[in-house]
Structure 1
Amino acid sequence: MHGRTIVITGASSGVGRAAAIALAERGAHIAVVGRNSERTHAVAARVGGAPFVADFDSLDEVRALAASLLARYPRIDALANNAGGLVSKRGRSADGLDRALQHNHLAPFLLTNLLLPRLVENGARVISTASVANRFAHLDLNDLQFERRAWLGGWQEYATVKLETILFIRELARRTARTGLTAYSFHPGYVITSFGSDSAFKRFGEFVSRGSLGISPEQGAAPLVHLASVDDVGAPSGTYFDGLTPNGRTHRLASDDAVAARLWEESAALVGV
């Protein structure tokens, strides 16, 4: 992978950090994107990459991130939209949007669109971290910000935004067909990280399992590393992977092209692209 540039968001810890290390060891240059400045700079130093600090709670910071990446890199070979996670308490972002929706879907949607001309130009690959939780989604295109539904500790919306991740990648693949760009989403497995650390449900699960519930960040990063490094993944652009297995089980709406197209339009309106 020498000479390739890979942008990884959420790379300051967990799966993103593990993927950054593994891909750097294969020779890639890593643009390390994270919210925490100290951790982001530490990972960048560890992998010999470049740090980019951005908080997805602000779409202006996402726009500034895209501008910085475009200014620095004439070529981007892969974009890994890995940032996001469970938001256990309902809240609004700096843009007045639902935080879970913005962190997991709207921010990566905006970043991808802002980088898209460069990505298409270089026949790049877009990889987004989804979740098997998508199967339990309750998608309502008229209520994307969960204003009319119960919060339930954030788990129902987490499942829903991960379905939106899969739909986004599906629609991205359709819109960029025959350009050379390829796009995939994947479920990393139940990884032992800081994900959902403020969730009482998760803490209970870890207590009863005595810490044995889940896999390591390195194991969880394996699908991302694979999708970012191989030339031919053996599956059409737009495919969702469960781990390293293509065509994982999904919610019934995950293969609905009309829903994917409308989600794209609604998302574009919310972020102004």
Structure 2
Amino acid sequence: MDSKTIVITGASDGVGAEAARQLHHHGHRVVVVGRSPHKTNAIGDELGVDRHVADFSRLADVRRVASDLQNAHPTIDVLANNAGGIFGDPTKTEDGFDVTFQVNHLAPFLLTHLLLDTLTASTASVIQTSSAGARLFGKVVLDDLEHDRDFTPQRAYGTAKLDNILFTQELHRRFHGQGISAAAFHPGTVASSFASNSGNFVQRMYGSRIARRLMTTPQKAAGQLVWLAEGRPGTDWLSGAYYEKRKPAKRTHPQTRDENISRQLWDRSEQMLSLPPNLGKTTNA
């Protein structure tokens, strides 16, 4: 297997950290990005790999880490947008966006955009860690993307994970013809520190000893990210698809079948981030 340069966000703990360990063990050049300086440096030191600290609730951090990654790594074979989480009451970031929407969608959307030249030149794979919560709780409302009118932590999280899938589909449509492949996946219900700051029933569930016994381990959940990162698009997996248990998901949110929704979400996200409009050309690849 050829060695790849693989950037993993949200790599200081849980699925991201375990994926970094497995991919490093397989001989890849892993780059870890995380919010916690202590945890990010700990996994970087453990593996002896490049590490970058960035808090995705601050878009300035996203822009800084994108610049640092471009300077340090002229080739990026895989970008794994794994950072995310469910939070509590509606909270606006210093950038003016709901924290759930920004951390789970806007920040990885911005990071991917800022790295597009490098990713295109590298014929890279871009992987989104999504969730089955997209189907259960999510709904994209184009004039209320942050659910200001009907906010609940579960609804905000489910919609952000649906955003991940729609972004994956639109990234494929716009850039697959230029060499980029994209996939999203559900890692399963993972016994990790996920939801530890949500302050709601999800936090209580993830903290329950009984419930955690029924959850998958971070090591097992990371296997699907590793499979996508090491796999060959078009041979091992299909670009633009959403995966559960290493297979295209049988049940998906109805909005994932509406190309107009994914196109408008992309355009609205560009506007929110003051990015150049109409970036990339839709292809039929």
Give the SS at the match of 1:177: helix
Matched residue, 1:216: 217
Q: Which moved more, 1:192-201 or 1:96-105?
A: 192-201
CA spacing shift, 1:22–1:248, aligned 2, 3 Å:
farther
Q: Which moved more, 1:50-59 or 1:230-239?
A: 230-239
Say whether residues 1:102 and 2:76 are aligned partners.
Answer: no
Give the SS at the match of 1:209: helix
Aligned length: 271
Q: Which moved more, 1:225-234 or 1:71-80?
A: 225-234
Structure 2 gap segments, 5+ residues each:
276-285
- Whole-Å Cα distance in 2 between the matches of residues 12 and 261 of structure 1? 32
Identity in percent: 40
- Whole-Å Cα distance in 2 between the matches of residues 38 and 240 of structure 1? 33
The residue type paired with residue 161 of structure 1 is: A
CA spacing shift, 1:120–1:222, aligned 2, 3 Å:
same
Q: Is the 8 A contact 1:132 1:249 kept in 2?
A: no
Q: Pairwise mapping of residues 117-132 of structure 1 onto structure 2 (< 5 A)?
A: 117-132=117-132
- Whole-Å Cα distance in 2 between the matches of residues 43 and 197 of structure 1? 20
Deviations 1:31-76 (A, max 9, x none): 1100100110111111221110001011111000000000001100
- Whole-Å Cα distance in 1 between the matches of residues 151 and 217 of structure 2? 32
Taking structure 1 as the reference length, what is the TM-score of the superposition?
Answer: 0.95
CA spacing shift, 1:208–1:78, aligned 2, 3 Å:
closer
Give the RMSD, CA atoms, in angstroms.
1.5
Q: Pairwise mapping of residues 122-271 of structure 1 onto structure 2 (< 5 A)?
A: 122-136=122-136, 137-151=138-152, 154-198=153-197, 199-205=199-205, 206-207=207-208, 209=210, 211-232=212-233, 233-271=235-273
CA spacing shift, 1:98–1:150, aligned 2, 3 Å:
closer
Give the SS at the match of 1:183: strand
Q: Is the 8 A contact 2:90 2:151 kept in 1?
A: no
- Whole-Å Cα distance in 2 between the matches of residues 203 and 111 of structure 1? 28
Give the SS at the match of 2:214: coil
- Whole-Å Cα distance in 1 between the matches of residues 141 and 156 of structure 2? 11
CA spacing shift, 1:5–1:98, aligned 2, 3 Å:
same
- Whole-Å Cα distance in 2 between the matches of residues 101 and 241 of structure 1? 22
- Whole-Å Cα distance in 2 between the matches of residues 47 and 248 of structure 1? 37
Give the SS at the match of 1:176: helix
Give the SS at the match of 1:211: helix
Give the SS at the match of 2:243: strand
- Whole-Å Cα distance in 2 between the matches of residues 202 and 34 of structure 1? 22
- Whole-Å Cα distance in 2 between the matches of residues 262 and 91 of structure 1? 24
Q: Is the 8 A contact 1:167 1:255 kept in 2?
A: no
CA spacing shift, 1:127–1:260, aligned 2, 3 Å:
same
